[in-house]
């Protein structure tokens, strides 16, 4: 079975490696153009090392891309971490169709920031879906799904790299083999259960310290490492990343700094507090919160306002 792989970065590399280790024939790899100054893409490096034809079109929907794709005579397309718009002509080109990885239990959390929104919403489970993409956004029939727990302190990074990454690679290989064996289902998504959220940007990540502490903590976890949860000190933007949820035994005004410690600084929210451990001031790299507290400087009783 002739396979084309569309992907990028470490996940794309891991999928390609797993397919090759299973003896699968990968006849072409597609990835985005190189970014000047960025680290070499490991998917590109592996494809070149294995002498697999590599293509880096600016846009997958350009007509000449389809012409070259068709010449590969693929039996199955595999999409692993794809951020470009892939047109129906390419999705439908392989003899057996195209399958795609998505980091949620579809039809829940369609869209580019599925992991972010599951955590921001305070959910305790999520998973991954391998599905047959169509012209909609994550709307195609489901091939298989795997469920994982969201731990109380999971961030986007820990949930993805510790759980969804390796499980996703295994699931894609399992799906490829099901297609090859002729046992891969096409289960329609239940539109009554569908949700869609936009890409999680800075406008979605502004902290309201008057909200319950758990909700604030979920927002910080769900935007770590990108885009970071935003607050302000003396009118200057401050992004918060690593943090802990802490109880408090006395009433303190929301956004007030309760304590300065070697770990960082403790800020009040409704019914609890957040220990901030890593931050990024505007125009500066990420740093330990204790370092920022000393340089700002922060004082107990000072307030962070959105």
Q: Is 233 helix (H, G, I), strand (E, B) or coil?
A: strand
Residues 116 and 8 grouped into a single domain: yes
Dihedral over Cα of 124, 127, 131, 133: its sign: positive
Q: Are 82 and 131 in contact (CB under 8 A)?
A: no
What is the extent of the structural domain holding 212? 202-295
Mean pLDDT of 199-224: 97
- Letter string b/e over residues 91-126, b meaning 16 or more CB atoms within 10 A of that residue's CB: bebbebbbbbbbbbbbbbbbbebbbbbbbbbbbeeb
Report the pLDDT value the prediction gives residue 251, as an integer from 0 to 100: 86
From 168, 193, 218, the end of a domain falls on 193
Residues 8 and 28 grouped into a single domain: yes
Domain membership flag for residue 273: yes
Q: Please determine, for residue 306, whether its predicted confidence score (pLDDT) is greater than 70.
A: no
Domain membership flag for residue 6: yes
Mean pLDDT of 82-100: 97
Q: What is the band of 91 on the pLDDT scale with cuts at 50, 70, 90?
A: very high
Residues 184 and 274 grouped into a single domain: no
Beta strand pairing status for 142-149 and 229-233? unpaired
What's 133's domain CATH number?
3.40.50.170
Q: Tell me the C-alpha distance between 217 and 230, whole Å.
A: 12
Domain membership flag for residue 33: yes
Biggest CA-to-CA distance, the chain: 70
State the total domains in the chain.
2
Residues 212 and 238 grouped into a single domain: yes
Mean pLDDT of 262-274: 97
* Percentage of the residues of the chain whose pLDDT score is greater than 90: 98
Q: Tell me the C-alpha distance between 99 and 144, whole Å.
A: 10
Report the pLDDT value the prediction gives residue 249, as an integer from 0 to 100: 84
Mean pLDDT of 43-66: 97
Q: Are 175 and 99 in contact (CB under 8 A)?
A: yes
Q: Tokens for 14, please give them.
A: 């891991």
Report the pLDDT value the prediction gives residue 149, as an integer from 0 to 100: 98
Domain membership flag for residue 268: yes
Residues 66 and 173 grouped into a single domain: yes
- Measured between its terminal Cα atoms, the distance across the chain in Å is 55
């Amino acid at each position: 079975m002739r396979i084309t792989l569309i992907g990028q970065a470490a996940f794309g590399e891991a999928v390609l490696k797993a397919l090759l280790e299973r003896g699968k024939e990968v006849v072409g790899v597609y990835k985005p153009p190189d970014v000047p100054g960025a680290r070499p893409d490991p998917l590109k490096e592996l494809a070149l090392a294995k002498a697999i034809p590599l293509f880096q079109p600016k846009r997958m929907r350009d007509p000449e891309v389809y012409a070259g794709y068709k010449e590969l005579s693929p039996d199955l397309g595999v999409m692993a971490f794809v951020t470009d718009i892939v047109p129906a002509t390419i999705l439908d080109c392989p003899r057996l169709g195209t399958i795609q990885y998505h980091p949620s239990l579809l039809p829940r959390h369609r869209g580019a920031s599925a992991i972010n929104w599951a955590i921001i919403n305070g959910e305790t489970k999520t998973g991954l879906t391998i599905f047959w993409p169509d012209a909609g956004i994550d709307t195609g029939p489901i091939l298989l799904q795997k469920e994982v727990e969201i731990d109380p302190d999971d961030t986007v990074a820990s949930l993805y790299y510790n759980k969804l990454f390796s499980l996703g690679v295994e699931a894609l290989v399992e799906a490829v083999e099901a297609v090859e064996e002729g046992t891969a289902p096409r289960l329609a998504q239940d539109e009554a259960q569908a949700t869609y959220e936009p890409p999680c940007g800075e406008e979605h990540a502004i902290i309201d310290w008057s909200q319950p502490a758990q909700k604030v903590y979920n927002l910080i976890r769900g935007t770590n490492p990108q885009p970071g949860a935003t607050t302000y000190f003396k009118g200057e933007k401050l992004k918060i990343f690593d943090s802990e949820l802490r109880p408090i035994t006395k009433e303190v005004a929301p956004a007030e700094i309760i304590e300065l410690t070697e770990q960082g600084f403790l800020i009040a929210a409704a019914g609890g507090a957040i220990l901030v451990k890593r931050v990024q001031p505007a125009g500066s790299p990420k740093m330990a919160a204790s370092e920022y507290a000393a340089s700002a400087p922060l004082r107990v009783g000072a307030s962070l306002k959105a």
